[in-house]
Structure 1
Amino acid sequence: MKHARRIAVPLGIAGVAALALTGCVGDAEPGASEAPGSTGAAAEGCEAYADYGTFDGAEVSVYGTILDEEANRLNESWAEFEECTGIDVVYEGSAEFEAQINVRVQGGNPPDLAIFPQPGLLASIAGTGSLLPAPEAVAANAEEFWTEDWRNYGTVDGTFYAAPLMASVKGYVWYQPALWEENGWEVPTTLDEVDELTATIAESGTTPWCVGFGSGEATGWPGTDWIEDYVLRLHGPDVYDQWVAHEIPFDDPQIAEAVDRVGDLIKNPEYVNGGIGDVSTIATTDFGEAGLPVLDGECAMHHQASFYEGFWSDDNSVTVAEDGDVWAFVLPGTEADAAAVTGGGEFVGAFSDDEEVVAVQTFLSSDTWANSRVSLGGVISANSGLDPANASSPLLQSAVETLQDPETTFRFDGSDLMPGAVGAGTFWSGLVDWVSGADTATVLSQIEQSWPQ
C-alpha cells in the first residue's frame, strides 16, 4: 500500500500515540494480558496502519446510504483501523441521504465524510463549494488502484474530489436453482429468450417476476436500473453515453423502446408480482424485500445487482451457488455472449481536512480496506488491489473478475451520472408514475422537460 505522504501524529499527543502504536505491534510476552477489547490478530496487524498516525480519542463522522446488516459489516471493516489509530469512526446511515446531505450542507452541518452513491449528486454538492478536493494520499491511492474511468466518476470540472469505495455489477437476475431444475427452465442467452422464458414460466402457473421500487425517499431507483440495462443492451454504449450526457433527449425513440421492453415484463399483470401482490405493489414494495419470494418459489426471477447477495439472509443461512438456495445470471444482450454490463459504486468525499479525517479517507481508498470489507461478505469493489478470492461467493468472485476484465463493456449507472435533479429526482419519480399506470411517452417527456438548462 502506497501513500503520497505520511500522516503526521499531532505533537500534543505524541507520547500517547507512541504508547498506542507500541501496544498494537504486539511485543507482549506470551500469556501477558491484553488491553480490554484488543485481540492478538489486531495487535499484530497494527504495523500496517503506522503511516496513518495515531490519535487520542479523535472522532470522524461518516454519513451514507448503507443500512442494516451492510452497515454492521461496514463498521466491522474498519474496526482494526480504529483500534490501531485511536480514531473512532462514527457511521450514520440514512434512507434519506440524497435529500438530507443537501439539507446538512446548506445548514452548515455536514459530516466529516460522506459516502455518495451517485456521481451526479457528488457533482452537485461539489458545485456548492463545500466539498474539499481529495488529499494527496487519496489521489495517489486512486491512481494506483482504479482505472481512469472510475477516477473520472469522482472528478468534477477537472478537480478530483472522491475516490471510489465499493462497486456492484448490475443486471443480475436471481433465481432458485432447484425450482428451475424441477421445471426444466434454462438460463436465457438473449433478451428475446428472456421474453420467451417469462411467458413459459407464467404458463406453468408460477409468477415469473417479483419487483420492488421502494427505497424511502429514493423510491424509484430500482426501476432506473432496469431501463439502463435495456438501453445499453438494445442500443449499445454510444447511445447509452449520449443519453446520459443529454446529447440525445430523454424521450428519444431508442430510450422509449427500452422502457417499453421493460414494461412488457413488469407491467404485465400475468408476470408480476410473485408473493407480493399485483402490479401496483411494485411502487411501494421495498427493494430489499422484493426478491425474497424467490426463496419460497413464489416468483421465479428477481432483477437486482450483485450487492443483493447480502440481502438474502442476515445470518448467511442462504447458500448462493449454482446448486444452492439461490443463484443468478447476468441479463443477456440482443445476441448471445454479449459482454456489456452496468454497475454502480460509492465515492467518499470530505467536508473536513483535519488530520484524522484525512487518515480515514485515505484508508477507505486503499486496497487494505477493500480486501477487509469484501472478505466480510456481500459486496465487491473495483479496486485493482482486491483479490477476487476474498469475495464471499462464486458469484461475487465472478463479478470482481467481470470488473477487472478489459473485454467487458462497463457503463456506470446512468441515473447516478445524470444531474441530481434528474438522476435522483424526476427519473425516480417518473418511473414510479410509469409503473403505477402512466404511459411511456408522457413520463419520458416530463423527465426531458426537467433536465437542467
Structure 2
Amino acid sequence: MRVTRRVLSAAVAAGLLVSVAAACGDDEKKDDGAAGGGALKGVKVEVAAKWTGPEEKNFREVLKAFEKKTGATVQYASTGENTDAYLGPRLEAKNPPDVAILPQPGLMQQYAGKGQLKPLAADVVSEVDKNFSPYWKELGSAKGQTYGVLIKAAYKSILWYRPQVFADAGVQPPATWPDLVKAAGTLQDSGTTPFVLAAGAQDSWTLTDWFENVYLSQAGPENYDKLAKHEIKWTDPTVAKALTTLAEIWGKPDFISGGLAQATKTKFDGSVTEVFGQQKAAMVYGGDFAAANIATTKSKVGTDAKVFPFPKAGDTAPAMLGGDVAVALKDGKGPMELMKFLASPEAGKVWAGLGGYLSPNKNVAPSAYSDPVAKELIAQLHKAGDAARYDLSDLAPAAFGGTPGKGMWEALRGFVQKPSDVKGTQARLEAEAAKAYK
C-alpha cells in the first residue's frame, strides 16, 4: 500500500514544479475541456479539506472560479487536521463528501486499497497527462488506476526569517547546522529570541519536517527511503544522530519563544504570525505555504520576510517536498468535473495569484505567481537534483505519519518536552511504526 517509487530523479525534480521554473515565454495553455456555460447548474458538490485560515480562504476562491465556470454550487467542509478521523466514519456510513483533499498520498493508498475511491474518468486522466509530470501522476495512482490529482505542492526545506533582525545582529543566513546553532546564539545575545516552534498537538507535523530535513541531510537519500518503508528501524543509530542534532536547538529553551512549555501549545499559523506580526522571534520553520500566513500581517514577503535553505546537517543539502491530493469519493458528473478543473492550468492560475502556493501543474505559467519567493524555491529544488525526496511522514501509514496525538507527531512532541531522551523517543517511534506498518 505504499507508493513504490519514492526517488525523484534529476529529470523529475526539474519538472516537479516547472510551473514556476519554466521559461517566462511559455504561455499558459487554455483549458477547453471542463464543463462550461452553466452545464452543471443545479448540481451541488461537497468538498472536504483540512485547510483553515488563509489557505481555506484561497482555496474557496478556486472553488468560486469553478462555480462561475460551470454553474455548480460547491459546499466546503473542514476536516480538521486529522483528515482520516473525519472521512473514515463518513466513508463507513456510505455518506462521504463528493471530493476530498488528502494531505498524504499514503492515505490515498489506504482508501484505494479499501475500494473507497472512484477512479478518474478518462477525460480527467487525459487532463492529468497533459499537465503533470509522470511522478506526480504516479503519486495519485494505485494498482494501475489513477485516483488522485496532486493539486498543491509544498517545498519544505526552508526557514523563514526577518532580514532586518539578522542584519542588526550581524548574522548571515546559515548554510550548515553548526552555523544555524551559532547564529541562534548570536541572535539570543543581541536580545532577539531565535525561534518560534510550532509543537501544538494539532500542528506537530512541523516537528516531523524538522526531523526529516536533518535525517535526509545526515543519513542520505538511500537511508531516508529505507526508513520511509520501515526497512530501517527507528532504533537505528542514524535516527539517534538526527534526534541528538535536533536537541542542539530544541534542548535550549532560551532559543524558543516562550520556552518549551509554550512551544507545545503553539499552532503553526500562530508560529508564523508571532514572528512576522508580533515580532517575537527572528525565524520560524514553514514551507512555502507560510507566505499565506505572512500575508495576514504587515510584513511583506520578499522584503520583511525572506527564506533561506534548510541548513545542511550532513553531506546532503535537504530538499523535501509535500503535496495535497484531490480524490473523488462519489460517482457523478459534478465530482469528476471538479477533479478535471482542479487538474487544469485555469485552477492553478487562480491559486497562484493569491500567494502561498506552488503548483505541480507544469502548464501554470511563472507569470501567474504573485509570491516572489517561488523562484528561490525552484533554484533550490534544481540544485538538489536526484537527492530530493517526498515528505517521509506523508508516505507512511496515516496512523504513524499523519495523525495528531499518535505516531511521529506525538513521539517528536514528547521529545521537544524532554530532548535528552533520545533512546526513549526512538523506542516509542519504533513501537508506533511497527503497529502502523503491519
Q: TM-score, normalised by structure 2?
A: 0.85
1:312–1:152 distance in 2 versus 1, CA, 3 Å? same
Q: Which residue of 1 aligns with 2:330?
A: 352
The CA distance in 1 between the partners of 2:92 and 2:306, in whole Å, is 44
Letter in 1 for 2:393: S
Q: Which residue of 2 aligns with 1:212?
A: 198
Q: Which moved more, 1:193-202 or 1:392-401?
A: 392-401
User: How many Å apart are 1:346 and its aligned residue?
Assistant: 0.4
User: How many Å apart are 1:335 and its aligned residue?
Assistant: 6.8
1:239 equivalenced with 2:223 (yes/no): yes
The CA distance in 2 between the partners of 1:192 and 1:428, in whole Å, is 25
Taking CA–CA contacts closer than 8 Å with sequence separation of 6 or more, which of the two structures ends up with the larger relative contact order? Answer: 2
2:264 to 283, 288, 311: 283
2:40 to 50, 55, 63: 55
Q: Which residue of 2 aligns with 1:326?
A: 305
User: How many Å apart are 1:142 and its aligned residue?
Assistant: 2.4
Aligned to 1:318, the other structure's residue is in SS state coil
The CA distance in 2 between the partners of 1:396 and 1:266, in whole Å, is 29
Aligned to 1:62, the other structure's residue is in SS state strand
Tell me, which stretches of 5 or more residues in structure 2 are unaligned?
Answer: 1-29
User: How many Å apart are 1:432 and its aligned residue?
Assistant: 1.7
User: How many Å apart are 1:405 and its aligned residue?
Assistant: 7.2
Tell me, which stretches of 5 or more residues in structure 1 are unaligned?
Answer: 1-46
Q: Which residue of 2 aligns with 1:13?
A: none
Report matched runs for 1:23-422 at 5 Å. Answer: 51-53=34-36, 54-95=39-80, 96-214=82-200, 216=202, 219-272=203-256, 274=257, 277-295=258-276, 296-314=278-296, 317-321=298-302, 324-334=303-313, 339-400=317-378, 402=380, 407=385, 409-422=387-400
User: How many Å apart are 1:194 and its aligned residue?
Assistant: 1.3
The CA distance in 1 between the partners of 2:33 and 2:310, in whole Å, is 44
Contact 2:217–2:314, Cα closer than 8 Å, also in 1: no
The CA distance in 1 between the partners of 2:51 and 2:84, in whole Å, is 12
Aligned to 2:361, the other structure's residue is in SS state coil
User: How many Å apart are 1:291 and its aligned residue?
Assistant: 2.5
Cα shift readout 1:71-94 (whole Å, capped 9, x = no counterpart): 121121232331231111222123
User: How many Å apart are 1:203 and its aligned residue?
Assistant: 2.6
Alignment length, in residue pairs? 398
Cα shift readout 1:83-140 (whole Å, capped 9, x = no counterpart): 2311112221232423111121122211100000011111122222111122222322
Q: TM-score, normalised by structure 1?
A: 0.82
Contact 1:388–1:400, Cα closer than 8 Å, also in 2: no
Aligned to 2:67, the other structure's residue is in SS state helix
1:413–1:58 distance in 2 versus 1, CA, 3 Å? same
The CA distance in 2 between the partners of 1:204 and 1:221, in whole Å, is 30
The CA distance in 1 between the partners of 2:57 and 2:102, in whole Å, is 18
The CA distance in 2 between the partners of 1:127 and 1:436, in whole Å, is 37
Cα-Cα RMSD? 2.2
Whichever of the two has the greater Rg, that structure is 1
Q: Which moved more, 1:365-374 or 1:93-102?
A: 93-102
